[in-house]
A and B are shown apart, each in its own frame.
Chain A
């Protein structure tokens, strides 16, 4: 069970440019670090972030180990119609988390 925060205006005019800021709790273990016995700690990262406006994919990102822990992304999206905006994070070891924000477009 993950944790995430999505910042996005809940109300907008049609055609308004909105900034989305999304972050999730995740250590982003790079696979480079060694444990106390010198064995590499297995890579465990968030691999992909997708944002959907309703059913339409409006943003995606492929992440590599060099993204900082508790990965944060920001991007823009044009307000289209009222919809539930979802941000979904997926990663290694079956990691999956989703946050949904209802946006009313006037």
Chain B
């Protein structure tokens, strides 16, 4: 076969070779780093993430995380982290709270590069972690500037 065809076949062949171990998705790694490996619970409405399902512009997406908690010394939220699954870096922000906050409700605006899952994880004073995830659709802006 001609040299160009041989190169093409070799190229395709290299794509078929898989790494020996599958890579852990970046999001899972980031969450594990936040929790120190402690498993994260879902459901039970321990954490409420609020974000628009279809955003106007991925540059600034308002987000609010509410964690019902008495916020006493004995029972409060220590940290709330927000992650974006397919952003170049999954971590978005980590809030540090304590009883002096009175209410575990935090807000910010994120950048989302593409449609993806946004995840909020809360760390409680008893050492447990709970999460809430939502899917968000991001479309390209029309009439961008050059």
Contact = CB atoms under 8 A, between A and B. Distances in A.
A61 interface: yes
A32 B103 CA distance: 35
B105 A75 contact: yes
A16 to B, nearest CB: 9
Contact of A53 (B97, B100, B110, B112): B100
Interface residues of B, number: 29
Contact of A60 (B64, B87, B96): B96
Contact of A75 (B92, B97, B111): B97
B100 A78 contact: yes
Given A68-B61, A76-B103, A59 B87 contact: no
26 contacts: A30-B111, A53-B100, A59-B96, A60-B96, A61-B93, A61-B95, A64-B93, A65-B89, A66-B84, A66-B92, A67-B92, A67-B108, A67-B111, A68-B61, A69-B60, A71-B108, A72-B109, A73-B93, A74-B64, A74-B106, A74-B107, A75-B95, A75-B106, A76-B103, A78-B100, A78-B102
Interface of A: 17, 28, 30, 32, 53, 56, 58-69, 71-78, 80
Among all A-B residue pairs, the 9 with the closest Cβ atoms: A74-B107, A78-B102, A68-B109, A68-B60, A76-B103, A60-B96, A66-B92, A62-B94, A64-B91
